[in-house]
Amino acid sequence: MSDKIQLYSLATPNGQKVSIALEEMGLPYNAHTINIMDGDQFSDEFIKINPNSKIPAIVDPNGPDGSPLAIMESGAILIYLAEKSKKFLPQDERLRSETLQWLFFQVGGVGPMFGQFGHFYKYAGDKCDHPYPIQRYATETKRLLSVLEKRLTNRNFIVGDDYTIADMSIVPWIVCLKKFYQAEDFLHLSQFERVNAWVDRILDRPLTLAGTKVCSLN
């Protein structure tokens, strides 16, 4: 095996989180595209890496004990990479706690709720003839955006003035609402001015922008 980290992913919001981190942290890696539309995630080879058949996943050939370590779950991967590189996760205990809180805000809230909204709004419109699912998830998506809007008052990033894995985890999902779900008008995203400015600030970072394109099918 190469001595580089092996990334198995696709350029979805969850996949982009990890490739952004790898680019920003300067950790050498090889990227392998897992086409979830073709069912690559269900191959025996991938299941050995991630028993849950989800992207992203990594294998670090130089794990903590010097032997290979496979890691699933994007939040767990981000924490591991931040600790390995000693970047983008504050050492100060209070700021570290804040960063992890907002990381899990994404893992437990933003990802699942935005994902469900996108499913019903963009992909399952012809399979559901009741307005409730879209209304429910649109309402929750806008509520979460409002939480972020308030959090970004007088802050450049989620945790003060420093870019962290919390920002990396959330920003692809905001971009997804516009770029992939094409829900900018439906959700009235223009009203979230601080969130939009924060997204622009992050995407101005060349390494972050490069990370969003890793394992893209386009």
CATH number of the domain where residue 203 is located = 1.20.1050.10
CA–CA separation, 157 and 99 (whole Å): 11
Q: Once rounded to an integer, what is the mean pLDDT over residues 156-182?
A: 96
160 forms bridges with which residues in the sheet? 157
Q: Is residue 88 helix, strand or coil?
A: coil
pLDDT at residue 127, as a whole number: 82
Q: Are 42 and 142 found together in one domain? A: no
Instruction: Answer with the residue of higher pLDDT: 128 or 63.
Output: 63
Classify strands 57-60 and 5-9 as parallel, antiparallel or unpaired. Answer: antiparallel
> Could you tell me if 84 and 97 lie in one domain?
no
Burial class (CB in 10 A: 0-12, 13-18, 19+), 71: buried
Do 203 and 104 lie in one domain? The reply is: yes
pLDDT of residue 6: 98
Percentage, residues of the chain above pLDDT 90: 94
Position 2 scores a pLDDT of 81
Contacts of 33 (CB under 8 A, 6+ apart): 9, 10, 40, 215, 217
Q: Taking residues 101-106, report their average pLDDT.
A: 98
Residues 117 and 195 in one domain: yes
Res 213: pLDDT: 97
Contact 81, 19 (CB under 8 A): no
Q: Is the pLDDT of residue 125 over 80?
A: no
d(CA 41, CA 50): 9
Amino acid at 211: G
Domain containing residue 65 = 5-88
Structure-block tokens of residue 102: 């907002």
- The answer to the question of residue 216 being in a domain is no
* Whole-number pLDDT of residue 159: 97
Higher pLDDT, 160 or 194: 194
pLDDT at 218 over 80: no
Closest CA to 14 of 173, 120, 204, 206: 173
Burial class (CB in 10 A: 0-12, 13-18, 19+), 162: middle
7 alpha-carbon distance from chain centroid:
14
Residue 152 has pLDDT above 60, yes or no: yes
* 110 and 168 housed in the same domain: yes
Answer whether residue 217 is part of any domain: no
| 35-53 pLDDT tens trace | 999 999 999 999 999 999 9
How far is residue 131 from each of residues 26, 121, 138, measured CA to CA in Å?
A: 45, 10, 11
Please state, rounded to an integer, the average pLDDT across all residues of the chain.
Answer: 96
* Mean pLDDT of the region 165-180: 97
Distance CA 161, CA 184 (A): 27
Q: Average of pLDDT values for 146-165?
A: 96
- pLDDT band at residue 172 under the 50/70/90 scheme: very high
Do 186 and 129 have their domain in common? yes
Write phi, then psi, for 46 (nearest 5 degrees).
-75, -35
* pLDDT value at 129 more than 90: no
Q: How many CB atoms lie within 10 A of CB 181?
A: 19
What pLDDT shows up at residue 198? 98
**What is the reported pLDDT for 1?**
57
Q: Determine phi and psi for 30, rounding to 5 degrees.
A: -110, 135
